[in-house]
Each structure stands twice: as structure tokens, then as C-alpha cells.
Structure 1
Amino acid sequence: MRFFVDECCPLRLAGRLRLHGHDVVHALEDRSGLADDEQAAFAWEQGRLLISADYDFAELAIRHGHAFLGLVLIGPHPNGLLPVADSLADRILAYGDDLAGYLTLLERDNTRRRLLGV
């Protein structure tokens, strides 16, 4: 799978996905400082699922109809995302190709999904 990981997510998350053989671009490595709509457009044009902890991407998808191959949003964690990066990556990997076409919200103790209108 191909992922674009927003800069609000730890590099460790991208590294864990790469360890499992996935093609991952992290915004801190390439595309840092772009506005959300520019990051979303890049992910779409590159055929990448977008992973972020920034809920503004949900607004782009739902309210504004912005196209996403798939969108994974990570809910807040009390100690930040770095300590849970590996487990988040494992949760993402468990969905595999089923992430495409969905907005998937990974909360601490729950996962919610909504079909995207692509």
C-alpha cells in the first residue's frame, strides 16, 4: 500500500509502515509546510492513503467533497502519539486494502468508519 503521513504524526509511524514493506511518504521528509488541501491533493495524485491526527482533513472530505483514496484519522492520546506509534501502525496494517474508500477514525479504544464519496 501507499501512504502519505501528515507532519502531525510521528516519523516512527511511517517507519513502522515501511518495515512492513509499504511505500510511505512522511510530510516532514517531503512536503513539509503545505496546507491541508495541498497535502490532500498530493496524496490523491500519488494514489496514497492519507494518515493524520488533524481533523481538518475530515472537513475537507465530508463538507467540501475533497477526493481521498482513503483517510485515516488518529484520535488524541493523553501522552501524545509517539508512545503509541507502533500500535497505531499495527491497527492501520490490520485493515489493509479495506482502508481504501473510507474515512477511518482510530480512537484510543474504538474505531469508527465512514464511506467516502470519491
Structure 2
Amino acid sequence: MRFLVDECTGPGVAMWLGQQGYEVFSVYDQAQGAMDDALLLKAFSEGWILITNDKDFGEMVYRERRRHQGVIFLRLANERTASKIAVLQALLDNHVERLPGNFVVVTEDHVRFANTPNS
């Protein structure tokens, strides 16, 4: 599975995913300052599942009906790297097969698979 980790999600999350054996593109390390529009297009065209805590991607997917290969939106009260990693670990342990093609909203205690134009 391939993950494109948004700059705001951070290099620690990208590093952790790489250590878990996933293929990772870290915006923080490889494309700082890239526009959201370009990142969503890159993720779609190259087969990456986007991980972000930027709600603008929800706007692009729902209002603009932009296509995607999967989006994981981290909507966390605690934005520390350790918290992001903890919720991603639980998500990957319990729902990894459902991630491709879905828009997934993740909080500290809930996972919601939302219907999107790609569904």
C-alpha cells in the first residue's frame, strides 16, 4: 500500500509508515509548499492514498467532486505525532482493506467511511 503524507501531517508519520513497510511519499521531505490541488492530482494519478489533517481536501472531494485513490482525514483533538501514529496504527490494524478508494474520517475514538463521488 502506498501513502502520500501531507506536509501538515508531518515527517514523523511518514517515517513511521515507512518503518512499517509501506511505500511513502512525504510532502514535508520531498515537496514542501506544494499546493493541495497538485497533491490530490499526484495522489490520484500515481495511486497514493492521501493522509492529511487539512480539511481543504474534503472540500475538493465533496464540493469539487475531485477524484482520488483514497483519503484519510485525521480529525484529531491532539495533533501530536504520537497521537496521529496511534490512530493510524488502529486504522491499519482494523480497516486496511477498506482504505483504497474511500474517504475516511478518523478521530481518536471513531472511524467513518464516507460516501464520495469515487464510491
Query: TM exceeds 0.5?
Result: yes
Residue 83 (structure 2) pairs with residue 87 (structure 1): no
Aligned AA (1:10): G
Equivalenced residues, count: 117
Aligned AA (1:69): Q
Distance 1:23 1:11 in 2: 14
Extract unaligned runs of 5+ from structure 1.
none
Distance 2:90 2:59 in 1: 23
Higher relative contact order, structure no. (Cα contacts within 8 Å, ≥ 6 residues apart): 1
- What RMSD over aligned residues (CA atoms) do the two structures have, in Å? 1.4
Distance 2:52 2:103 in 1: 11
Distance 2:67 2:35 in 1: 15
Verify the 8 A CA contact 1:50 1:72 in the aligned structure 2: yes
Distance 1:7 1:99 in 2: 20
- Taking structure 1 as the reference length, what is the TM-score of the superposition? 0.90
Verify the 8 A CA contact 1:31 1:39 in the aligned structure 2: no
Distance 2:49 2:113 in 1: 14
2:19 matched residue in structure 1: 19
SS at match of 1:29: helix
SS at match of 2:21: coil
Residue 66 (structure 2) pairs with residue 49 (structure 1): no
Verify the 8 A CA contact 2:74 2:84 in the aligned structure 1: no
Verify the 8 A CA contact 1:6 1:52 in the aligned structure 2: yes
Cα displacement string for residues 58-103 of structure 1 (whole angstroms, at most 9, x for unaligned residues) = 110011011110000001324x232313212302322213101211
Cα displacement string for residues 29-69 of structure 1 (whole angstroms, at most 9, x for unaligned residues) = 11211111111011111100000000110110011011110
SS at match of 1:76: coil
Aligned AA (1:92): L
SS at match of 2:4: strand
1:117 matched residue in structure 2: 117
Extract unaligned runs of 5+ from structure 2.
none
Give the stretch that moved more between structures: 13-22 or 80-89: 80-89
